[in-house]
Amino acid sequence: MARKPSRRPHALKRVAPRKKEAPRPGPYRVTLTETAKAVYFDLWEKSRDAESKNDSTNQHCTTFRMVDEAIRTIIPLNPIDKNYGLHDPLSDMFRLKKGRIRIVWAADSRSREVLIVFISDTPRKEGDAKDPYVILQALAQQGYLKKVVNDWRRALEVPPDAAIH
């Protein structure tokens, strides 16, 4: 015979009140250097040409979609994730691998800005002269990367005498 449920109230579990989470700030704003823009638009044109021929499965379309998704959604959500970090001499830069393409950027967490410095337009092949990391290290040794990033950071700074409304 089954027992009838008791009418007595059972001891209620005490549950700590949920803390209200602070609203998450929106995604970072993304800017591209002139060289990154040139590669992006080259990929876009190749993709557009393939789509005009009704070949949306073309390699150019796939590559452009991967790069576009990275720039529009993946990178802006968490650009300073340590998993994206590079090592010396590029330790202040981040990179994302999409297929055999590499996208490299610098990020500023205070202003929530990202600067896409480099999009490799050639697939990565270790030891090759066109390997994106070989190109990046050459740019770092020439001081180009440091200059571009420093100029970008200076542009983000608010002058001390600027009026804030």
pLDDT surpassing 80 at residue 129: no
Q: What is the pLDDT of residue 94?
A: 92
Cis peptide before 89 (omega within 30 of 0): yes
Q: Please report the domains of the chain, with CATH numbers, ordered by start residue.
A: 29-153 (3.30.2310.20)
pTM for this prediction: 0.73
Measured CA to CA, the distance from residue 102 to residue 44 in angstroms comes to 16
Contact indicator for 86, 104 with CB cutoff of 8 Å: yes
pLDDT surpassing 70 at residue 46: yes
pLDDT surpassing 60 at residue 107: yes
Contact indicator for 67, 74 with CB cutoff of 8 Å: no
pLDDT surpassing 80 at residue 138: yes
